[in-house]
Amino acid sequence: MKIPLNKFSQSDYLAETKMLDFSHPSIKKLVQQQGWQCLSDYDAIGAVYNFVRDEIRFGYNKDDLLPASKVLSDGYGQCNTKGTLLMALLRAVNVSTRVHGFTIYNELQRGAIPNYLFRLAPDRIIHSWVEVYVKDKWVNLEGYILDRPYLTKIQEAFSGTLAESCNNFSGYGIATPCLSKPDIDWKGTDTYIQKDGIADDFGIFAQPDDFYHQYGTNLSGFKKILFRFVVRYLMNMNVNRIRRKGL
């Protein structure tokens, strides 16, 4: 299948990088166990997408620059880290991928980030989604960020309210026009869960390594150290509580 190249070569969309380390034994073992390499591109995308969405829980890793194998080992991630894993797994089964970089407004994270920690968050947060090439077109994938058990608890909490109807909803890691029926399922078309919170569009990159090299990550200095060793654990405790008990 010939892919429109623009400024990249076709091999760029299948390349292994420091972050997309799909030759790592843990990734090779997973792909083999799941049998994804035996599926069509369409079915492989769906199977890998569902795995990353629901088997890799929503949570906050220590850094956006983690390689895919470390995200898999953690067993949780957010938009950027789960996206890295998604790209690596898809390239492992010869599906072309690229990354689209953005920032999102921090308000959509309120609730997932407890109020007492919210002032530490930057006003605009580095964000990304994955694009896959299937059936002669690029398709945007963003709906993998929140695992279904977590999302279900948010939907239950707002059931019967205006937020549950198809009005704009923002919070708890969600920015969608329809909380009750967000576009998160693989059907060969775009999937989204935070798209309505986008602030800046940084464009398309063949590799996540290049995106973060150019635009950096969300925190630096003391705030980065504090996040890595204290804050993210408190955030993950909050997310896990929501997943278990709801709001």
Split at pLDDT 50, 70, 90, the class of 218 is: confident
Tell which residue, 90, 8, 4, 100, has the closest CA to residue 41.
Answer: 90
User: How many C-alpha atoms does 186 have within 13 Å on its Cβ side?
Assistant: 20
Split at pLDDT 50, 70, 90, the class of 4 is: low
At residue 83's C-alpha, the angle toward residues 191 and 114, to 5°, is 90
- Paired sense of beta strands 174-176 and 198-205, if any: unpaired
Residue 127 φ/ψ, nearest 5 degrees: -140, 155
Q: 63 by DSSP, 3-state: which?
A: coil
Fold of 10-245: C8orf32 fold (3.10.620)
Split at pLDDT 50, 70, 90, the class of 222 is: confident
User: How many C-alpha atoms does 138 have within 13 Å on its Cβ side?
Assistant: 16
Residue 5, pLDDT > 60, answer no
Confidence (pLDDT) at 237? 98
Lowest-confidence pick of 136-145, 190-199, 210-219: 210-219
| Domain chopping of the chain, boundaries | 10-245
Mean pLDDT of 93-112: 97
Q: What is the pTM of this model?
A: 0.94
Report CA dihedral (241, 122, 223, 154) to the nearest 10 degrees: 0
**Count of all residues that appear for the chain in the document:** 247
